[in-house]
Structure 1
């Protein structure tokens, strides 16, 4: 019997999003999260006395800013080397050979798969054969599976591959292949990387994405970590999750009742954060607050985005300086009868109709295209294909009518709120 750890998509020193202009202990903790999660992985692997580790690509997040990223990785590999734990590594699209201008010699316990063809490393004492191939460039559009070696007889065969597996989960379809092709290869376990949501695609043989090691933004919610696999008599006996994330992202939904006040909503946000943070086992809760419901204060909430976010962050801090951090507050409430006279309501609805037509105004959309189109194309590739900001996504997708929608909603809410105050 033996055990191994399968991890992928570590993205060491990746800049976590949503932190622009943010300072303090929580912001610093979030910025260091990918390193701390990797340290946790190494610590847990040593504690669990695993026989080897597999890293299935995107160890880095692109070219290093300086050598500190590489030195950190080497230091962690040194910890595993002192425990006689070998590591088998493929490079994916983010750390492809063409992406990196700096490099360091790897410790002897790290076995790196080459970029020219699939190669096999053997662990004779465990009767294990590990087959893999690294990315030479970021945009690998060829199916690499046909070039993988045949399984070694009388050994437990593992394939290590960074792949989109047909564009699973909306990820770029690098090294495209199908699960049927992986099954047909005859291996006992496929250690995949690239898809950030952990999932078991197949069980005979096992085809597994462990997900990324540390959630980096609100689209990467829930527990994150690596898989730990037990093999007995040539077959997978158990597969579990080693949760090593230090910051956990969650979307918290708060209901706004018909008669709730602004203070009621803030108190409800505080209680929701208190409840969920109590389930984090010491991790920092990074959350987005979603406010729903039909309420008389709909327009007040819509027109008070900045003070609402400040109050939500204050509510989180009131629970302790390192308990939770609020990334954003999203208002999705609906208005209810507010008792305005018929003339005022008619005027407001006329204005709403006029502004609403702006989304379909050809001249306005053409102007936005000319001003935003070229600017968007200058954004980094990964930001354009993988972003969670609704407004930014609308601009990238050239959906300028959708880009106007939140602006119009905010303007109408502010007009209505000011009207109620007068």
Structure 2
């Protein structure tokens, strides 16, 4: 008989609300309940699929100080699995390493919380391949060394499944936690590694199937896109298949709206509305950040009246339901001809900035220095905002500079028209 389980990580119960949610009471309610809703959906998935186990690879909580109300919610949800005969296996990660509640809360007998010493737990099965679950929790929030040597050796003749919280080979947006290389995991003798910590989903095939499921519920626009858990099947012959299943109750998305060639304000609003309508599919709330692009004679007006654009977009979102507009950005470029720019001081200034400032090495050096100083003050999870490598860093810096220039020019043009 095949062995089937759900693998998740980084649920981050009790994660604090981000600033965007605090600006909108209804959105605050949605985002504030989203991590709990994700756990409920994960349990629902386990029950619907009648799996044999749930594996949680760390960061179940967001921090050490967790409310008893949330803890009781967790106990109730895991109790639903207990009643269905589905055991749960949990390790602690860097965020919940010091959580007293995960250590002291009385959970159902079917819940196995691994401690700071590695354990290997064999599963009693009537038929099918023998299964052994391995786990090791963080003792402290920091784990600078590789944990793989501390794990119990694989049990011969069984399908060994390891739970590990790790930054794997490293990530620009995450500090190194229990770093381990993919080849090391592949050569470990384990058949499946259920990882946690990195919030972006990744799957690696090989001698061992290695899966980082990512965060099941995004918390802000920097965790945009589809979020999911893994439904894993171990066949009688030991073959492993992985299915991605969505459980998020709210999804963040960056949506580009091309306004190239749009001359009329009402046409621009209509195009934005159509882009929002395309975001309403699915059984989740949508939270979108709109980015207006393309060359249009409306570029200056769009930039200086973004508050009006956002109001129009929010009206559409309210009509559609279950949709929120988090922010509107404009990267539109003006449609200008030589006739239009001749004698236009703002347009001439734009040309001078483009040729003499943005293209110059002095400006690039100053901007790079300022950005690096800013990055030093950011928490690790936000450092990826400036890109994952040197080329992406340069692109982000260029985009920020041009955005700033366009905003200043739009203000100047508005003042001139007044």
Query: TM class, shorter-chain normalised?
Result: 0.7 to 0.9
Secondary structure at the counterpart of residue 124 of structure 1:
coil
Distance 1:341 1:285 in 2: 41
SS of residue paired to 2:184? helix
Q: 1:98 & 1:244 partners in 2: Cα distance? A: 25
Shift of residue 23, structure 1, vs aligned partner: 2.7
Specify every segment of 5 or more residues in structure 1 that has no aligned partner in the other structure, as ranges: 391-398
SS at match of 1:414: helix
TM-score, structure 1 normalization = 0.85
Tell me if the contact between 2:297 and 2:335 (Cα under 8 Å) persists in the aligned partners: yes
How far is the alpha carbon of 1:175 from its aligned partner? Answer: 0.6
CA shift at 1:382, angstroms? 5.2
Distance 2:170 2:185 in 1: 15
CA separation in 1, counterparts of 2:189 and 2:92?
Answer: 23
Query: Is 1:181–2:184 an aligned residue pair?
Result: yes
Equivalences, count: 405
Gaps (5+ residues) in structure 2? 388-395
SS of the counterpart of 1:226? strand
Q: Does 1:414 pair with 2:417?
A: no
Map Cα deviations across residues 242-285 of structure 1 (whole Å, 9 max, x no partner): 211111222211111224323222211111111231x22x2111
Trace 1:396-415 onto structure 2 (pairs within 5 A): 406-415=403-412
What pairs with 1:22-421 in structure 2 (closer than 5 Å)? 22-97=23-98, 103-115=104-116, 117-125=117-125, 127-168=130-171, 170-277=173-280, 279-280=281-282, 282-320=283-321, 322=322, 324-337=323-336, 339-340=339-340, 342-345=342-345, 348-349=349-350, 352=353, 377=377, 381=379, 385=383, 388=385, 406-419=403-416, 421=417
- Aligned to 2:223, the other structure's residue is in SS state coil
The answer to whether 1:5 aligns with 2:2 is no
Contact 2:167 2:198 in 1 (8 A): yes
Q: Distance in 1 between matches of 2:306 and 2:100?
A: 40
The answer on whether the counterparts of 1:193 and 1:211 sit within 8 Å (CA) in structure 2 is yes
Alpha-carbon displacement from aligned partner over 1:153-194 (angstroms, at most 9, x marks no partner): 121100110111111474332111111101111011111111
8 A contact 1:299–1:413 mirrored in 2: yes
